[in-house]
């Protein structure tokens, strides 16, 4: 019985239906025609400008990933990894979580880097995600502490969640940096694949890890900035600090496989967090709908890389 329930919950149709239900509850009190009309009035130059800005953000992600996997990446390598990052965004359109894109985006790299094993390339995606979450968790905690000082209203459990998340991150890095896994696992043939995964954490690679974490910390505000742009376009009144406080939480929840491409879930999360700031539901949903459209547009660029 439990297995049958799990099968239903994990099915694409369940998530599609669940997305539709979430969208209905988010938009049921809103004039959809008026909302779409406002979104359609956005000047094309804004769309092009945001897509250009996102391309820079994607390049930062590609540079960080290449530095994790390659000892001395070139500009050509940066471009190859950026294209792979775009492809991951395209794949994520068809799955209920952005993490699904990570499972597929590394595959084309095998053609470009035949000297690297599949295990090493695939594991670099996981480690890149961990490095990203590191910066994500640190910046979210700092933003929440600042928000607390400025008397912003948000549930206390968010602050505690990111405190625990950062504690877990510290424990993880202490474990992988200080423990000699090669000495412990090297005698077991069946565990040699695990050593390939942990190869990036060897002493000679620690500097690269620290550089990638620094890139993530510097890049985190830039990755969140498009949502502030959307707020400015539709005059919602959401400040950049408020984006930094709430978007990491929303983004983290959207990683969960609860809806298709985040639709429905994103709208309800925007209403829950930004609605508490006194912003009208209509303004929030216009911003959310536009964010979803922009997400599709830049993901489709990854589809173009697959075609050409």
pLDDT digits 0-9 by tens, 153-192: 777 888 888 889 889 988 888 877 777 666 666 666 666 6
Summarize the confidence of residues 11-20 as an average pLDDT. Answer: 57
Average pLDDT, the chain: 79
Quick check: is 36 in a domain?
Answer: no
| Residue 189 in domain | yes
Summarize the confidence of residues 192-196 as an average pLDDT.
Answer: 65
Instruction: Choose between 143 and 54: higher pLDDT.
Output: 54
Indicate the pTM of the whole model: 0.79
Distance CA 280, CA 110 (A): 49
- For residue 138, is it within any domain? yes
Provide the pLDDT for residue 39. 77
User: Does the pLDDT at position 8 exceed 50?
Assistant: no
Tell me the per-residue pLDDT of 233-285, one tens digit each, with 9 for 90 and over. Answer: 988 888 888 888 888 778 777 766 656 556 677 888 888 888 888 888 888 88
Residue 265 belongs to a domain? yes
The answer to whether residues 124 and 152 touch, using CB atoms and an 8 Å cutoff, is no
Residue 26 lies inside a defined structural domain of this protein: no
Question: In which band, very low, low, confident or very high, does the pLDDT at 2 lie, cut at 50, 70 and 90?
Answer: very low
**Per-residue exposure over 139-167, b if at least 16 CB sit within 10 Å of its own CB, e if not:** bbbbbbeebeeeebebeeebbebbeebbe
Does residue 34 sit within a domain? no
Under the banding of pLDDT at 50, 70 and 90, the label for residue 23 is low
Is position 48 within any domain? yes
Structural domains counted in the chain:
1
Q: Which two tokens stand for residue 148?
A: 């607390």
* Residue 6 resides in a domain: no
What's the average model confidence in pLDDT over 37-56?
88
Identify the domain containing residue 129 by its residue range: 43-307
Per the model's pLDDT, the better-predicted residue between 226 and 30 turns out to be 226
Q: Tens digits of per-residue pLDDT, 55-65?
A: 999 999 999 99
């Amino acid at each position: 019985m439990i297995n049958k329930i799990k099968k239903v919950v994990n099915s694409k149709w369940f998530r599609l239906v669940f997305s539709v239900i979430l969208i209905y509850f988010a938009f049921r009190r809103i004039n959809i025609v008026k909302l779409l009309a406002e979104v359609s009035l956005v000047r094309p130059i804004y769309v092009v400008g945001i897509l250009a800005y996102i391309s820079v953000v994607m390049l930062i992600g590609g540079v960080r990933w290449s530095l994790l996997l390659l000892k001395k990446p070139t500009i050509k390598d940066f471009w190859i990894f950026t294209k792979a990052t775009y492809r991951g965004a395209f794949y994520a359109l068809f799955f209920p979580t952005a993490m699904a894109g990570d499972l597929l985006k590394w595959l084309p790299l095998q053609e470009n880097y035949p000297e690297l094993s599949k295990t090493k390339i695939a594991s670099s995606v996981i480690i890149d995600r961990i490095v990203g979450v590191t910066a994500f968790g640190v910046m979210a905690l700092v933003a929440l502490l600042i928000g607390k000082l400025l008397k912003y209203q948000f549930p206390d459990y968010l602050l505690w969640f990111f405190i625990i998340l950062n504690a877990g991150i510290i424990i993880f890095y202490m474990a992988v940096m200080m423990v000699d896994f090669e000495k412990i696992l090297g005698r077991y043939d069946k565990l040699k694949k695990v050593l390939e995964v942990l190869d990036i954490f060897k002493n000679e690679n620690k500097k690269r890890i620290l550089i990638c974490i620094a890139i993530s910390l510097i890049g985190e505000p830039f990755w969140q900035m498009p949502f502030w742009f959307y707020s400015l376009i539709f005059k919602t009144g959401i400040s950049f600090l408020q984006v930094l406080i709430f978007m990491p939480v929303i983004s983290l929840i959207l990683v969960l496989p609860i809806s298709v491409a985040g639709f429905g879930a994103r709208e309800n999360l925007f209403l829950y967090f930004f609605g508490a700031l006194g912003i009208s539901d209509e303004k929030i949903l216009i911003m959310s709908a536009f964010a979803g459209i922009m997400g599709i547009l830049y993901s489709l660029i990854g589809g173009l890389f697959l075609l050409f």
